[in-house]
Amino acid sequence: MWYDLLFRRGDPTNDWQRASSLKLNADLDVPSLLGVPLGGAFDRLFCLGRSSKGDPYSVEYFDLGLCLDRDENGNLLEFQIVLDDDVSKCQPYPGTVSWEGIPIPLTGLTLDKVPDIFGEWFWLDEDDHEFIAFYEYPAYEMQIECFKDRRVKRFLVCQEPLMAFEEQREAFKVTKAWPPEFPSR
Residue 115's pLDDT band (cuts 50, 70, 90): very high
Q: Give phi and psi for 160, each to the nearest 5.
A: -105, 95
Q: Give yes or no for residue 134 having a pLDDT over 60.
A: yes
User: 158: number of CA atoms within 13 Å, CB side?
Assistant: 17
Instruction: Compute the distance between CA of residue 75 and CA of residue 147 in angstroms, rounded to an integer.
Output: 30
The residue segments making up the domain with residue 153 are 10-16+23-171
Residue 184's pLDDT band (cuts 50, 70, 90): low
Residue 12's pLDDT band (cuts 50, 70, 90): confident
Residue 184 maps to a domain: no
Q: Which long-range contacts (CB under 8 A, 24 or more apart) does 172-180 make?
A: 172/123, 172/125, 172/134, 173/125, 174/123, 176/122, 176/123, 179/136, 180/122, 180/136
What mean pLDDT value characterizes the chain? 92
Which region among 81-90, 134-143, 155-164 has the lowest average model confidence (pLDDT)?
A: 81-90
Instruction: Compute the distance between CA of residue 159 and CA of residue 181 in angstroms, rounded to an integer.
Output: 18
Residue 2 maps to a domain: no
Q: What pLDDT, on a 0 to 100 scale, did the predictor assign at position 8?
A: 54
Residue 145 maps to a domain: yes
Residue 152 maps to a domain: yes
Q: What pLDDT, on a 0 to 100 scale, did the predictor assign at position 22?
A: 96
Residue 58 maps to a domain: yes
pTM, two decimals, is: 0.92
Residue 154 maps to a domain: yes
Q: 161 CB contacts (<8 Å, ≥6 apart)?
A: 136, 140, 141
Q: What angle do CA 163, 113, 164 make, to 5 degrees?
A: 5
Q: How many independent structural domains does the chain possess?
A: 1
Residue 179 maps to a domain: no
Residue 177 maps to a domain: no
